Amino acid sequence: MATMILLPDGSNNVSSDWIVVGAGSVKNALMFDDGTTAYVKCDDITETMNIEFANPSVAEGDIDTIDSVRFLSSGKANHRSSPTRISVAYYDPFGNPSENANYLAHRTNFTTINGTARPYSNGSGVGSVDWTYANLEDLEMRVTMASFIEVYFSYLAMEVTYTPAATDNATFFGANF
């Protein structure tokens, strides 16, 4: 199994209550896990932003199956003692349940929260649909402020695990050894 990371490539429908600090855009603020220099912040519950991701760095023909997708994130509560929470949801493709990321209160340190690895593009259970390359090309996440405590949100990426496609040499040598 192999892994690739999809980084933010754009944003849309960003509420004006999500404020960019130390970067020119939401995309730039969330691309690197360096919360001390760039992040977005929000303190208004239910405010949302949609984050679009770059196309996969691995060619479609080099992937046999997409095994799972999950979000990677980093943030912190801007409060002396109370944590904060955001909700992260798959906006496109739609169907996987949203997940809460609870960030601890800390003066300087950011907390890393990673989502659940999702094996299907539309949730799990009866009628589940495998991830496709097109799903990755169109991937979009919705982040919603889910607390009254201000969040400093510094990183959002998607981790994709996949099985590489067999090459001709691998098949040839595998059949002969």
Closest CA to 76 of 90, 86, 68, 67: 86
Quick one: CA dihedral 119, 122, 125, 128, positive or negative? negative
Domains and CATH numbers, the chain: 2-176 (2.60.120.260)
List CB contacts of 176: < 8 A, sequence separation 6 or more: none
pLDDT in tens, 65-94: 999 999 999 999 999 899 999 999 999 988
Q: For residues 96 and 78, what is the distance between their CA atoms, to the nearest angstrom?
A: 29
pLDDT digits 0-9 by tens, 18-69: 999 999 999 999 999 887 789 999 999 999 999 999 999 999 999 999 999 9
Structure confidence at residue 3 (pLDDT): 97
